[in-house]
Each structure stands twice: as C-alpha cells, then as structure tokens.
Structure 1
C-alpha cells in the first residue's frame, strides 16, 4: 500500500499500483515524503477523489489500536506501544533532588506557593499517554483523508472489582473509613500481628512494610503488610525471608488511568476534529465474536471503525513512543573516591544516534546501544535481539531517530477474501 499526497500536501486515497508509483518517481512527477509507511507527494495537479474513511481507535493505557477502513478494505492498521516508565523516572528525579538539597541547601525554608496547578491538569504519566494518543491519530490524518473517528472508551468500577456485593451507600464508605491514616488501617486489617513470625519474636513494636518498593508500588493498602521490628530489620539486612503467601494485591493502575483519561482525551479530540463518536467495549466484543475475529488491538480497532468485514492486506505498523531526552547528568551510584560517573552518552557515536533505523545484512532494525569503539547493539522494536555487537561501517542509515518509532510487520491475510486494489484515479 502506497499513501499519496496531492500537490499541496493534502492526503488522497492510497494505491496498490506500484508500477505507476515507480514511473512517477522515476519521471520526477512525484517525490518520497515518508519511508514508513511509504508515502509519496504528487508534483502536478490531480483530482481530489476520496472515499469515506472511518478511523477506529482502541484507546488503552499500554497499547493503542488504530484501524482506518472503508466499507470493504483496510487501508491502515497500527499497534502503538505507550511509555510506562514515567512514574519511575519522576520518582528517581524526586530522590535525586531531595538528596541534592540536603547536601547543598539543608536549611532552606520550604516553599509551596509555586506549586499551583492549572485547571485541567493531568499527572505527567497520564498527560504523556493522552498526547501520544493524539499524535498517533494526527499521523494517520497526515496520510489518509479520514472523515470520521470512532473511539472506544472504558469505565471500570474498581470498588465493584474489589467487592462484587457492594451497592448503594457502600460506595461512599471506603475500606479505610473510620481510620486516621493508611497505617492504622493496615495494622487493624492484620490484627496488630506480625505477618511473618506471627508473634514468635515477642517483639511488640510493629512496622508497616512495603511489599514492593514505594517507588514501584506506592502506599496503597494492598502493597503494605504488618511486620514486627525484628522481622522488618532482618528482612532489610537479608537474614529474614518473607513467606511466599505475602504478595502484593491486585493492581488497578491501568483501570485508574482509563477512568482519568477517557473524557480528557475525548474532549481534546472533539476540539481538533469535527466528526468524533464514542463506543464502548461490550459493543466491540460483541461485534468481534459475531464475525469470528481473533482478539487483537488492531482487530478491535477494525470492529470499532464499523467495518469488521473489511479485507486487510496483511501489513500492521508497530509504533513505539521513545523518550525524547535524558537530562540525568550523573548515575546514582558513587564510585570509589567519591567519583560520580556520568550518565549521558555522547550525542552521536560515529554518526549514529540511539534508536536510529539502520539496515544490516538486508535486515532493518534499530540501534538500542552504542559503544565508543563504534560497535552497535541492534534490536527490533519490541526488543528482540538481532546482534549485540556490529561495527558501524557495516550499517546503512535508513532513518534518523524520531519520537515515534515505526516498524512494518507482515501478518497472514485471512482466507476470507483477496485484497482488491483501488483504481489510481488521482494518479
């Protein structure tokens, strides 16, 4: 599938007439705008023929499914992987900032007046995912004349998940009702007894222990357990092991994210595009089952678009949001002599940057690691290893790194029908 732009950069209907595309490029009547997905721009006046295209968006907290379809054909399908490490990075930054202030400005007075949040503020981790949703949709609009957007949003009743019998006013009475803080609730929940030795140590001092680190698991009650002073100290020294029965409870991070972002994302989308509609997960599931389709992000997006029987030509674009910058100057670990090792690598190594798309032995891959000697670590976009040490002279640069990395993947075309190409009327 080749995506086509007119003389003014506006998208037209794509074509599968590759011979015609080669002739246009060879005769200088068109130029290549984008390599993946392959897009050309016509350099002469053409007809503005388009069809109605529906874009289905399967919104999520880790992956986003996109599918642009007409009544009988899939024009574009993509699986977008979102960033999920922002919470950890912010925690590390907070840790470094507090350590630096304790060393440099120990007696500085606290300041809180400069922490006011604007209306509509979202947490950085949520805001980044909302922005990535919008960026992925905008890039589809850049290559296809999308006329309609349908978004699937999900609402999760977290209290119902925890307690299936909850009803009425019980929704207003949380599990911590009647307790001063989380610590008092956890001690009461565990019966004021150490959950490791169950009182065998005879230690009356009780501590509330994080099963996962606070940086990873937070201060939620399902991540806290009661331990006596003896067991708590021994665990952190490595002399005491917790029973296997002690583990963190259910996570609701993804459900909370979907509850926060669904209306913020939908509102932003309505401001940008005129024709935006909502649908819900149970409708998508029913459509997928009735048409006998497998469970997949792109398949769900195809059902959301309203054309579940549209024929796919077998190509899915896997996209991954990459980190733009790394401003951490030094590593946290301190070497002998009080030396702090630098965390930032050079901007370029032998002319290559991190996440550059290269070609090695006829295979397209990405640079995931660089060494000062010029040896590169090559991997696919999902992290699958290609070669851990390849000389830079053996690499051919295809695309410089971008904030959104794209990789083309081929899937088997279902035997329901043979893809039918569009007539190249605008060519």
Structure 2
C-alpha cells in the first residue's frame, strides 16, 4: 500500500500517513500543499507536533543497480526504490575529457612552435631533453623550452579514489539524503560483503589500502602484464614496446590486466591493420570489469556514519540478507534486499505486503559541452566522396580512405601522371562543427503536458520537441509543455 509523505511547516520530515481522506481534507481547506507528486509529498501550513517514531533505512549497494528501503518498528515498508545509476558512463566521459585536453595541449604546443620558428627562438637538444623528475629517460625534442614539468610534483591526497568509485560513493549518499528529506530515518544499515566486514573491524581504511588483489607488489597494470609475459611480446620473442588495449578505451575498454597485452613495435603496428591477428593464434583474454562497489564500500560506510553516528549505523552481510529473505519467504530483488537489510538493522520482521517500488534513474547533472559533433574534412569528385582526412585517423574505416591512401592507390593503378590529373579535380569540403545550445534543457528535466508528468530523456529539432522516458519515439512539442524541476536522481515511475 502506498503512503503520503508529510513535511512540517519548516520543511522537516514527519511520519508518513495512509489517511488519504484526511490529506485530501487538509489540502481542500488550505492547511497543506503538495510538494511533489512522485513521490507524493505534502507540506503542512500550520504548526504541528514534531513527534516521530523510529524508522530504519537500508541500502543494497551496487555499481549500476541500487536498492533502498525504509521500514518502521512494526516491519511495515514505508519506502522502497530501485535506483539505476550512470556509473558505467564515467570511464568513457573521463577518457573523452582526457582526449580533449591532450588535443588542446597539442594545439598549444604547435602554436608555440610556429611562433618560436617565426621569431627565431627555437632551441636544439643534441643529447635529448631530460625533464626534472623523469628518471633515466629522454623525452622527444619539442624545439622550444617549455616551463618545468609538473608531473614529478603531483601527488594524490590521502583518501583519493578513482573518479568512477567516487561517483559511486556520491550516488549512494545522494540516495540516502534524498530519502531523509521526506522521512525522519533514525538508523541506517549497509550490506557489507564478508571480506570488507572483517577489514572494517580494524578501523577506517581508504581507497587502494582496501584492496589486496593480484596487483599487490606492482606499480601498475602494465608492470603486472610485463611480469606475466616475462617481458616479451605475446606474438613473437621481441621485447615489449607497447601495451595494447584489446577492447579500445573509446569503446569502453578498461585499464585492467584482462584488457591489456604486451606487444613489440612491429606486432603492435600489424595489429592495428589486421584486428584478427590475436584471434588467429588463439590469444584471447577475458574482459572483466573492476569491482567498483567494493572499492567504494568503506567510503560509503564512513559517509553514513558521519550522517547517523556510529551507534545508529549498522552492517549486515550478504549471507545475513539471504537468510532473512528466505525466512520471510520473499522474492529476490534489489529493493527487496534493501527491505530485508533495513529490517535486519531495525531488528524487526516484515509485516504485510511489500508495495511496488519507486523506479529512480540517474541523469547527468553537469553537461557543459559546447561542441556537439565535429565532421571530418571530406574530399569529393563531383558529388561522390572519395576520401576523408588528409592522412588516416586512428581506426579510420577502410571503405572511406584518407586522401594520402587514395592517391597512393591511384598512382599504383593508373600511374602518377593520371593520378595527379585526377587529384586536381578533387574538391575539399572543410571540417565543420555542430554546437550545443547552451540554454538547452538537459535529460532528467521533469515536464508536464495535459497535467501528466513526464521525465525528459532528450530533445530534438533544436529543442523544439522533447522525448520522454517510457514513451519511445513519441515527440512532445515544447510549447505545449510546462517545465518542472531538474535533479540528478529522478523518479520515473
């Protein structure tokens, strides 16, 4: 059965109610007003008692799927939700940001080189240039003297974790805070796996100190792969020069040892021209995702402890949840596990049926990207496209070669004289950019049409039409819609 969540006059949460008729009377009399429709929350407009009863919250942690629930002393479920996070998008976004920054720095270096050459201030390094902090190594000649390198002085602060794990922690804490805005939860319980539970008994731990896996003793995944292959190329007996990503980073591949293979210079070049080379010799590595939730677990616990206090923060294991779920004879689901976890923390059983949970989706909050898309330089003869880019870009499709490859093939086919003649007829279409409208509404924005609530998943035709969650390809004209709130964790059903 659903409940109505109640806030007092100052906006503090009170106990939820099932007295729907009383709620309707309060709203008709102007003594209460609705705050949101999903979940249905009202705010009292008169002074009321601040008395609340104990409520127990529980969360079933995960990287993508998270369950959250709240039960009362009787074991009644007063809140349950399934949350789908956007954590799997983080590695790709971080890789894109790194690529944009590399391109920006490279453009700046080229600009400085052109200016130095024009002003006659270039510098030569006959023995190679050794940067401070770079041990036993020589970096490539850059023609001009840059500022002192910074990578030797960069240090990660105590408690640092990867952006993916940090986003996982923030998502879990945001879920809990969002629930505590409508319910006066006293205690919170976190399902902690058995290994993490034992470590936790020895005090707070941080980040990589929590892990004791196969990479222990190695500075990086590359060093681990080097030791695994004895320093030799996986395809021949030459020394390792490159570490190749089996699943490319831009396609979601990770930096884990399962996705890395050590290759020499020649084999690495051959691999990029013939992607089936690894499969032919039977070399296949299993692609496995990292245990983000396990890395984030101690940080989630510490944050919950800061919110509720040590005496009101509890832990259970997956085995405890399984046994309780079997005892109460309930089906497994993320929100059901969260209900069981909350009941374990509150030391109570379950009474009555578990109502249909809220479905929450996480949307990106800060998308300030200006460039939407960049189209490649195109070469045409008449209306036919014969090439793209002057030189081939990384993994450029063979069906549309670069101009240099097209010209080389033409020279080998019809001769250089005829090839130059055809080259003179080629027209160049410059590369172009498409820009985002900075005033655009982002996915996750709630809008209303004909008094029906929708959650926007995107917009088309320069923002003139909206697409909504669960509505397929249906378009909603913006002029007929009333825009509502915008937040990261959105109730979609």
The TM-score with structure 1 as length reference comes to 0.77
Residue 362 of structure 1 and its aligned partner are, at CA, apart by 7.4
SS of residue paired to 2:329: coil
Separation of aligned partners in 2, 1:403 and 1:222: 33
Deviations 1:398-422 (A, max 9, x none): 62321221122xxxxxxxxxxxxxx
Deviations 1:347-388 (A, max 9, x none): 13xxx55332234577643222222455535232xxx55234
Q: Which residue of 1 aligns with 2:82?
A: 79
Separation of aligned partners in 2, 1:204 and 1:129: 41
Contact 1:186 1:226 in 2 (8 A): no
| 1:401 corresponds to 2:493 | no
Residue 262 of structure 1 and its aligned partner are, at CA, apart by 1.7
Q: How does 1:1-400 map to 2 (within 5 A)?
A: 1-70=3-72, 71-84=74-87, 85-105=89-109, 107=144, 108-109=146-147, 110-112=149-151, 115-154=154-193, 181-188=223-230, 194=235, 208-214=243-249, 216-225=252-261, 232-238=268-274, 240=276, 242-243=278-279, 246-249=283-286, 251-254=288-291, 257-274=292-309, 275-306=312-343, 307=348, 309-312=350-353, 314-331=355-372, 333-336=374-377, 339-348=431-440, 353-359=442-448, 364-372=453-461, 375-380=464-469, 384-393=470-479, 395-397=480-482, 399-400=484-485
Contact 1:186 1:224 in 2 (8 A): no
Contact 1:367 1:376 in 2 (8 A): no
Q: Which has the higher contact order (CA 8 A, sep 6+)?
A: 1
Residue 56 of structure 1 and its aligned partner are, at CA, apart by 1.0
Separation of aligned partners in 2, 1:302 and 1:172: 32
Report the number of matched residues: 378
Deviations 1:286-336 (A, max 9, x none): 111222222211111111112452334523112222212223333574433
Contact 2:374 2:431 in 1 (8 A): no
Separation of aligned partners in 1, 2:9 and 2:59: 29
* Gap regions ≥5 residues in structure 2: 111-143, 197-211, 378-428
Deviations 1:102-154 (A, max 9, x none): 12135533223773333323322222221221121112111112121111122
Residue 397 of structure 1 and its aligned partner are, at CA, apart by 2.8
RMSD between superposed Cα atoms in Å: 3.4
The TM-score with structure 2 as length reference comes to 0.67
SS of residue paired to 1:387: coil
Contact 1:357 1:400 in 2 (8 A): yes
Contact 2:14 2:184 in 1 (8 A): yes
Separation of aligned partners in 2, 1:375 and 1:223: 43
Residue 67 of structure 1 and its aligned partner are, at CA, apart by 0.8
CA 1:183–1:373: 2 relative to 1, 3 Å:
closer
Separation of aligned partners in 1, 2:457 and 2:491: 14
Residue 77 of structure 1 and its aligned partner are, at CA, apart by 0.5
Structure number, greater radius of gyration = 2
CA 1:97–1:19: 2 relative to 1, 3 Å:
same
Separation of aligned partners in 1, 2:431 and 2:437: 17
Q: Which residue of 2 aligns with 1:166?
A: none
Contact 1:205 1:228 in 2 (8 A): yes
Separation of aligned partners in 2, 1:398 and 1:288: 42
* Gap regions ≥5 residues in structure 1: 158-170, 409-427
CA 1:340–1:327: 2 relative to 1, 3 Å:
farther
CA 1:177–1:342: 2 relative to 1, 3 Å:
closer
CA 1:27–1:89: 2 relative to 1, 3 Å:
same
